Chain A
Amino acid sequence: MARYSPKRLFRNRMNLVPFLLLLPAFMVLALVVVFPLGFSLYTSFTPYRLIRPNTLHVWIGLRNYTDLMGNGDFWAAFGRTVLFLTIALNVEFLAGLGIALLISRITWGQRTLRTIMMFPMMFSPILVGYQFKFVFNDNIGILNNALQALHLSDGAIAWLVDRNLAMFSIIFAEVWMSTSVFAILLLAGLLSMPRDPVEAARVDGCNPWQVFRHITLPYIMPFAYIAMTIRSLDVARAYDIVHVMTGGGPAGRTELLWTLIARTGYNNAKMGMANAMAYISILLSIAFTYFFFRKLIAARKFMRGAD
């Protein structure tokens, strides 16, 4: 038999296939995400204003960033955003867990309940914002109307005007929209959980709380991390809600990073400064996502160990 020599080209082509398959995805992302972000990184080092195009070529180094360091409004918005995310995500997790536990106990109509639970997830954030602007409206809102009809309150409560109440209203809308992500995934986790470990723990003398704490909760945590990861991908959707409900006002009392970016960039036309803020908000988002993604990977490994 003739000595056979393998064709190197063929092998190399085999290894290229996955990259070719991924090429369209990365091309689109390069055009829409990577390249624009590169551009905005550049503009964040210029005093670029939309109305004065020449300013795009003026290099001012880190001045936008150093200006931001001393900008009280920016830091207020930054702190408010972190607070908003922390409260919203924690409430969503706890409420989602509660709802999942509640529904996992109900045998009749469980599927219908689950479907209804998914509806808020599918609402446009702009609609959620509108809906709650309507609900919390001081004059004609259903909430004030109901409170007055039940004589729980005499005058109109200024839900969207008072500093704390406005923040509460926005967080409520956000939680309303996003809790179902947690509830549904945690419910899926609860329903897929094997019975044996729970029964083993009971035989070993655990009380219901200990069973929950040491068996159920660790089992469903990976599901919580998936939910957290999914949520951290789109936390900035809260911009839409705030934009509709209060527009960051009144007088900046509900200003979040994202509404501040929009105001600085579009209303005040200070694109360079807005891009500098945007970069900080991007880093914040990436930090959130990366954190949960690592947890998810770790939890996944843990799960695989049990298979």
Chain B
Amino acid sequence: MDPKLRRQLGRIVSWVLTFLLMMIICVPGLWVVLTAFRPNAEVLAKPAVWVPQVLSLNNFAKIFGFAQEVAIPVPAYFANSMIIALTSTAIALLIGMSGGYAFARYRFRFKDGLFLGLMLSRTVPGIALSLPLFMIWSRLGLIDTKPGLIIVYVAMNVPFTIWLIDGFFRQIPIELSEAAMVDGCTRWQAFWRIEFPLARSGIASAGIFAFLTSWNEYALASQLTRSTYSKTLPVGLMDFTSQFTIDWAGMSAMAVIIIIPALALTFIVQKHLIAGLTFGGVKG
């Protein structure tokens, strides 16, 4: 075959494949988003209604309690999710910065072993961990409390946060903090004036990643929370399913609420996240 034609064909094939790929990634999500704006009747209609006849914010109004049915306290869940995710992220970042700095800047005994242990602690399946945590937390009175879930999420996020932040600190030449110390800084000052500002964007993306993990977590939250006092959005989503019926439209509206922060953050973080994962892993 003519090489020019073959190249042309190759380009068309790769565009078609890319289009298909993007369809598979986007269509399910977009369909859920569309459903969020449609009445349940239309969603359940047979034969299927492909082009929406009615688009409204009714589902959102309903779940936020502006309509007569206030079955599911979504605003409370939203607030719980925010408080729990933000607090646990902040604490995980502090602990992660301290630990990441230790791995990046010091040589010490058992370093590799400790690092491996850290990673292995993250591998324990949430559901397996939830059994003893449920028993211990109920004795400590931490069941159905925000602090109870916050502590758990801090522990869940610390290993990965340390991994990422370690990678970002390693990219900063050690001479910079040495120069700062010769210039009159204490080690503490050198950290806050030189290393922290330089790693800031990386630390921020580690924070966003931690936030998303907490925001999205279900297995542990479903066992450790009970009521509006501490239930998070993913747990609340299951309120829409009863034994035999599912409120598809309401659930979709709630799904949109859960997705939006995740999408926004993904967009902000993407560049640093890729850099962090690759540096942390390969150059380590």
Q: Is B180 an interface residue (CB 8 A)?
A: no
The reply to whether A40 and B131 form a contact with Cβ atoms under 8 Å apart is: yes
The reply to whether B99 and A21 form a contact with Cβ atoms under 8 Å apart is: yes
Task: Determine which of B22, B35, B50 lies in contact with A116 in the assembled complex, contact meaning CB atoms within 8 Å.
Answer: B22
Sample of 14 further A-B pairs with CB below 8 A, known A142-B28, A188-B277, A289-B123: A25-B118, A33-B124, A99-B21, A114-B270, A115-B266, A124-B234, A126-B218, A127-B237, A131-B255, A132-B28, A149-B48, A185-B274, A222-B282, A262-B219
B residues near A (Cβ < 8 Å) are 14-15, 17-18, 21-22, 24-29, 31-32, 35, 43-44, 46-48, 50, 94-96, 98-99, 101-103, 106, 108, 114, 116, 118-133, 135-136, 151-152, 154-156, 158-160, 162, 212, 215-219, 223, 234, 237-238, 248, 251-252, 255, 258-259, 262-263, 265-267, 270, 273-274, 277-278, 281-282, 284
The reply to whether B277 and A185 form a contact with Cβ atoms under 8 Å apart is: yes
Interface size class of A (residues with CB under 8 A): 35 or more
Contact residues in A for B151 (Cβ distance below 8 Å)? 28, 31-32
Name the interface residues of A31-63: CB closer than 8 Å to any CB of B.
31-37, 39-40, 43
Task: Determine which of A114, A148, A258 lies in contact with B128 in the assembled complex, contact meaning CB atoms within 8 Å.
Answer: A258
A residues near B (Cβ < 8 Å) are 15, 17-19, 21-22, 24-26, 28-29, 31-37, 39-40, 43, 99, 102-103, 105-106, 113-127, 130-132, 134-135, 139-140, 142, 145, 148-149, 176, 184-185, 188-189, 192, 222-223, 225-226, 229-230, 232-237, 239-240, 243-244, 258-259, 261-262, 265-266, 271, 274-275, 278-279, 281-282, 285-286, 288-290, 293, 296, 300, 303
Contact residues in A for B31 (Cβ distance below 8 Å)? 134-135, 142
A-B contact pairs, 10 of them (CB 8 A): A22-B102, A22-B103, A34-B121, A36-B133, A39-B135, A122-B266, A126-B216, A126-B237, A176-B24, A230-B277
Contact residues in A for B129 (Cβ distance below 8 Å)? 32-33, 36-37, 278
Task: Determine which of B95, B108, B132, B274 lies in contact with A25 in the assembled complex, contact meaning CB atoms within 8 Å.
Answer: B95
Q: State A25–B48 Cα separation when bound (angstroms).
A: 53
Task: Determine which of A19, A99, A140, A234 lies in contact with B248 in the assembled complex, contact meaning CB atoms within 8 Å.
Answer: A140
Contact residues in A for B218 (Cβ distance below 8 Å)? 124-126, 240, 243
The reply to whether B106 and A18 form a contact with Cβ atoms under 8 Å apart is: yes
Q: State A112–B52 Cα separation when bound (angstroms).
A: 28
Contact residues in B for A149 (Cβ distance below 8 Å)? 47-48, 50
The reply to whether A134 and B248 form a contact with Cβ atoms under 8 Å apart is: yes
Question: Which 5 A-B pairs have CB atoms at the shortest separation, nearest pair first?
Answer: A236-B125, A32-B155, A124-B216, A278-B128, A226-B281
Q: State A213–B97 Cα separation when bound (angstroms).
A: 40
CB distance from A305 to the nearest CB of B (A): 13
Q: Is the interface of B mostly helix, strand, loop or mixed?
A: helix
Chain B residue with minimal CB distance to A290?
A: B120
Contact residues in B for A271 (Cβ distance below 8 Å)? 131, 135
Contact residues in A for B152 (Cβ distance below 8 Å)? 32
The reply to whether A21 and B248 form a contact with Cβ atoms under 8 Å apart is: no
Task: Determine which of A21, A134, A189, A233 lies in contact with B278 in the assembled complex, contact meaning CB atoms within 8 Å.
Answer: A189
Most buried by B among A99, A126, A222: A126
The reply to whether B255 and A31 form a contact with Cβ atoms under 8 Å apart is: no
The reply to whether A131 and B32 form a contact with Cβ atoms under 8 Å apart is: yes
CB distance from B55 to the nearest CB of A (A): 17
Q: State A19–B99 Cα separation when bound (angstroms).
A: 9
CB distance from A95 to the nearest CB of B (A): 9
The reply to whether A293 and B98 form a contact with Cβ atoms under 8 Å apart is: no
Q: State A24–B46 Cα separation when bound (angstroms).
A: 57
Chain A residue with minimal CB distance to B213?
A: A234
Chain A residue with minimal CB distance to B275?
A: A188
The reply to whether B18 and A140 form a contact with Cβ atoms under 8 Å apart is: no
Task: Determine which of A22, A223, A236, A265 lies in contact with B98 in the assembled complex, contact meaning CB atoms within 8 Å.
Answer: A22
CB distance from B30 to the nearest CB of A (A): 10
A125-B216, A239-B219 known; A115+B267 contact, CB < 8 A: yes
Contact residues in B for A132 (Cβ distance below 8 Å)? 28
Chain A residue with minimal CB distance to B240?
A: A130
CB distance from A69 to the nearest CB of B (A): 19
Contact residues in A for B237 (Cβ distance below 8 Å)? 126-127, 130
Chain B residue with minimal CB distance to A23?
A: B98
CB distance from A237 to the nearest CB of B (A): 8
Q: State A32–B216 Cα separation when bound (angstroms).
A: 19
CB distance from A192 to the nearest CB of B (A): 7
The reply to whether B131 and A122 form a contact with Cβ atoms under 8 Å apart is: no
Contact residues in B for A259 (Cβ distance below 8 Å)? 127
A28-B151, A126-B218, A131-B28 known; A102+B14 contact, CB < 8 A: yes
Q: State A15–B156 Cα separation when bound (angstroms).
A: 28
Contact residues in B for A43 (Cβ distance below 8 Å)? 131-132, 135
Contact residues in B for A279 (Cβ distance below 8 Å)? 128
A115-B266, A226-B282, A236-B128 known; A21+B47 contact, CB < 8 A: no
Chain B residue with minimal CB distance to A109?
A: B18
Q: State A40–B130 Cα separation when bound (angstroms).
A: 10
CB distance from A59 to the nearest CB of B (A): 17
Q: State A274–B108 Cα separation when bound (angstroms).
A: 39
A282-B124, A282-B125 known; A36+B132 contact, CB < 8 A: yes
Q: State A35–B151 Cα separation when bound (angstroms).
A: 14
Contact residues in B for A113 (Cβ distance below 8 Å)? 18, 22
